[in-house]
Amino acid sequence: MFIERFLTLPANRSVWLWGPRQTGKSCWLQRHLSAAPLLDLLKSDVFAEYAARPALLRERAQSAAWRRGQETVVIDEVQRVPALLDEVHWLIENRGLQFVLTSSSARKLRRSHANLLAGRAWRRELRPFCLGELWAEPAPPGLPVFDLERCFASGLLPPHYLSSAAEEDMRAYVADYLREEIAAEAQVRNLPAFSEFLRVAALTSAELLNYANVAREAGVSAKVVRGYFEILEDTLLGRRLGPWRKSQNRRLILTEKFYLFDVGVMNYLARRAPKAGTPEFGKSFEQLVWQELLAYQAYRAPHLELTFWRTSTGQEVAFVVNDKQLALEVKASARLYPADLRGLTALAEDGAVRRRLIVAGTTEPQALADQFGQVEALPLRAFVEALWAGELLR
């Protein structure tokens, strides 16, 4: 089964294609660039050959057998042989070739002082499935019926979401990739502490970052915990969300938040299975909306600015988009109440907001205009459809 992704690559440009493992980078390239020469550095023989002699890329890329009229070369997981990037640079400048360079980690490239091509390659990112892709028409045959609880357990990494044994796949992914490969690449010496850190990071995902508390739970210093969070960011497994800072008359909380990259990985690491009506369900629902916003940013609006707003008295809005172009609150419950507007109301009192919206857990649109005034309320699917149609950020 193939689900068409929203990712597009620019024509006649070299591209860095970033994304965590199992987001589908290789599958996308096989479907859209199948005729291009491919170096798959996850293959041990290919890795050994080019690690020993990176100049082979220059020799082969200029050969008639390789070119066959093609102007694009694909290198999968290029961070495994950073020295190849010097050859890539030369071929772009002197032979006019274009490259698609995939990577799941910037950490090794930076540590090896690799040639990052100085703007010669545009950045793109492939993320886990977004709901816009899953709900696009026509749906592929055999696609699982969407269910929030199932989604919160399997997550949206393509192999997990489409699997009939998602829990086993998740266990292997966490054990083999997160705990072993990521720790090895980042040169983590205390693997048990890093494993415990992953659990605590999952439990506190979407909450204000408190390095001291996480360090105490993980049994390491706050300095080490800061380094661990940097590892997750470098390997694209999480992202910080900064606070909105331009208050006119309120004292704001300026601490960052941190979100893991996938709701299923978050819940597996936290050892929970969220059920409707629980706080964990609400947290997972917020994570799902966050992932949709990041996918929209990656595929349609790379300059989109995302922040959150929180005052010292506890009033909060989950997401603020651009310069208050959109303020977004997230409520997983099927029914909304006037109290759910407090954060959005307070934010508007602190300066004009172009559009205020609540994403609700209900499956049916609600007629809330009379009750909520200028605050709109949309069920999840209607929000997703409006977002990808470009209706929310006009």
Residue 316 has pLDDT above 90, yes or no: yes
Domains, the chain, ranges and CATH? 14-126 (3.40.50.300), 132-388 (no CATH)
Question: Helix 222-234 to helix 191-203 angle, to the nearest 10 degrees?
Answer: 80
Tell me whether residue 144 is exposed, middle or buried, using C-beta atoms within 10 angstroms of its C-beta: 0 to 12, 13 to 18, 19 or more: middle
Measure Cα distances from 196 to 172, 201, 226, 246, 302 in Å.
Answer: 17, 9, 14, 36, 33
> pLDDT category, 367, cuts 50, 70, 90?
very low
Q: What is the pLDDT of residue 23?
A: 95
Residue 368 has pLDDT above 70, yes or no: no
Tell me 142's DSSP state. T
Residue 366 has pLDDT above 60, yes or no: no
Contact 29, 103 (CB under 8 A): no
Q: What is the pLDDT of residue 186?
A: 62
Helices then strands, counting H and E runs in the chain, come out as: 19, 12
pTM for the predicted model, two decimal places: 0.93
Q: Are strands 316-321 and 326-331 parallel, antiparallel or unpaired?
A: antiparallel
Measure Cα distances from 42 to 49, 76, 157, 193 in Å.
Answer: 12, 8, 19, 28
Q: What is the pLDDT of residue 11?
A: 86
Structural tokens at position 223: 């300095």
Residue 243 main-chain phi, psi, to 5 deg: -85, 150
Q: In the block, which residue shows the tokens 């950490």?
A: 107
Q: CB neighbours of 229 closer than 8 A, spacing ≥ 6?
A: 201, 209, 211, 238, 240, 258
Cα Rg, the chain, nearest whole Å: 22
Residue 66 has pLDDT above 70, yes or no: no
Tell me whether residue 167 is exposed, middle or buried, using C-beta atoms within 10 angstroms of its C-beta: 0 to 12, 13 to 18, 19 or more: middle
Question: How far apart, in whole angstroms, are the C-alpha atoms of residue 222 and residue 213?
Answer: 8
- Mean pLDDT for the chain overall: 89
Q: What is the pLDDT of residue 67?
A: 58
